[in-house]
Amino acid sequence: MRSTFLCLLLLSCIHASLNPEKQVVCGEFFGHDGRKMAYDGDLNYYLCGHDCGIDYIASLCQVKYPNVSHGEPTNSTHNVTIEIPYYHWKNESVPEKINVEVKNYTCQDFIPAEILTASIGSWSEHFCAGTRPAKTRKEWIHEAFSECGAEPANYTLGGQYGKEDKFLEMYFICDQPKTHVELDGLNKDDTYYQESQLQILDKIANLSLMLMQAQAQEHTKLSVRYKLELKMSNLLTQFVMQSRELHFVDFESQDEEKNKSYMSRKSFLRETWTNIRHVGHSRADASRIIIFALLSGTMDPSENALSSYDVESHDFVGLQYFPELKDQVRDLYVDYMKNHTVGLTREHLEFLNETGAHQKLLEMYREIFNPGLIDRKYLVLKKPKSWVLEICVGVAVIVALVAVAAGLGCWMVKRKSKVGVVSVGFNRFEDNDDEKLVKISA
């Protein structure tokens, strides 16, 4: 039976012997596996199987509290009773409950590195370990060298573990040519998705009008037909969204970044851009549901599935490690939403960076889509590309070119057979001086 260190993270209740200010605890018990989880029924501790080293205590602190770097041990200890999960009871060496002596750790405030500004001809980068193990000064310089291609012209370190040679982040300046482009793929054309949605939206709007007219005329067969077509059009928008969902992730570069022991500003922006696009597609689907409900008269006035997409409500994962990018990420999110709001052009969406923006958007949808009245003042319905039409046009052009070529060939053959033959015709004299007197044709 070997000794295993375990860390306990206080989730909701603070033990009486703990300082409620940024505390985590770590203890030791005897078990057969070092990576188990268990709960204390009274105190609601979360038991993590690992050692009580400085890096793991630091990760516990960072998961539990914002803006902390690591944990310093205190002189306080106490005992807790831990319930072992039932699926470990079959092992006779693991009891159902055990007493664990734990030690308290106080999480320390994060002291950030100084943000460096690059001059003309150079560029800056920001590395952050996040909840991964901290690096020494030498290790960070090595990572900067790999990214820059040379020793950094300047650098700063932050998130130090007390007086230890361990740091959680690094800013550096590189004076070598930049070998990557941030936000690669930002300007890729994504019009197919938007235009396809708009085509179906136009179809739903027209079907809604025809359905109301059929119902007003008590035309049962047409009413049933239009209702069915409305349902099919609604389903079609889902297929359009799902068919476009997974075609924009650079899996190779993403896997490469995940294998690193730190995050870079470049990788964070790339991942954030991918996440924003995922959110954008989910938001478009929520819009589709609302529009269909408005057109069919089934909209609940108290519901707004779009409210969670307000910029202040959106949690950008990892942004806490890159505070200098807060405004850029926010603008990127809002700009994407302006370009990908079904049925409205961006000039009508300048309010999307405001509080309660999607409540206002819902009110605009209520203006546009109502049973019996469809106002198109915000609606842009571009004619989407039709591959069938393009093929037909292409075939027609080819046929026309072949016909022209054939006609030209016949004309050349005919012309060649008449070389040297010239006909001259004389027009009658008239009072009109502008009339041609002689007409010559070859």
pLDDT tens digits along 288-300: 888 888 877 777 7
Provide the pLDDT for residue 152: 96
- Amino acid identity of residue 97, one-letter, is K
**Mean pLDDT across 68-75:** 92
**Range in 113-117, 216-220, 342-346, 428-432 with the lowest mean pLDDT:** 428-432
Output the pLDDT for position 34: 35
pLDDT above 50: residue 323:
yes
Residues paired with residue 426 on neighbouring β-strands, in sequence order:
438
pLDDT at site 84: 65
Report pLDDT for 219.
84
332 falls in which pLDDT band (50, 70, 90)?
Answer: very high
The pLDDT, as a whole number, for residue 214 is 83
Say what the pLDDT of residue 225 is. Answer: 87
Q: Is residue 268 pLDDT above 70, yes or no? A: yes
Give me the mean pLDDT over the 341-358 stretch.
87
Give the long-range contacts of residues 158-162, CB within 8 A, separation 24 or more: 158/110, 158/111, 158/112, 158/113, 158/114, 159/69, 159/110, 159/111, 159/112, 159/113, 159/128, 159/129, 159/134, 160/69, 160/111, 161/54, 161/58, 161/69, 161/70, 161/134, 162/70, 162/72, 162/108
pLDDT for 47 equals 47
Q: Using alpha carbons, select from 410, 432, 436 the residue that is nearest to residue 424.
A: 436
Mean pLDDT of 317-343: 89
pLDDT of residue 340: 82
Distances (CA, A) of 413 to 370, 405, 417: 67, 12, 6
Closest C-alpha among 284, 294, 290 to residue 239: 284
- Looking at residue 231, its pLDDT comes to 77
Residue of higher predicted confidence among 277 and 91: 277
Predicted pLDDT at 168: 97
SS3 107: strand
pLDDT the model gives residue 191:
58
DSSP summary character for residue 177: P
Of residues 195 and 243, which shows the higher confidence score?
195
Q: Does the structural domain 123-174 have CATH classification 3.30.1490?
A: yes
434 or 51: which leads in pLDDT: 51
Q: How confident is the model at residue 14 (pLDDT cuts 50, 70, 90)?
A: very low
Mean pLDDT of the residues in the chain = 72
pTM of the model: 0.67
Q: DSSP per residue over 338-373, as a string?
A: HHT-TT--GGG-GGGGSTTHHHHHHHHHHHHEETTE
- Domain limits, the chain: 23-108, 123-174, 187-378
CB 257 within 8 A of CB 270: yes
- Statement: residue 108 has pLDDT above 80: yes
Mean pLDDT of 20-40: 56
pLDDT-above-70 percentage for the chain: 60
Q: How far apart, in whole angstroms, are the C-alpha atoms of residue 160 and residue 163?
A: 7
> What confidence score (pLDDT) does residue 243 get?
57
Q: What's the pLDDT score for residue 195?
A: 67
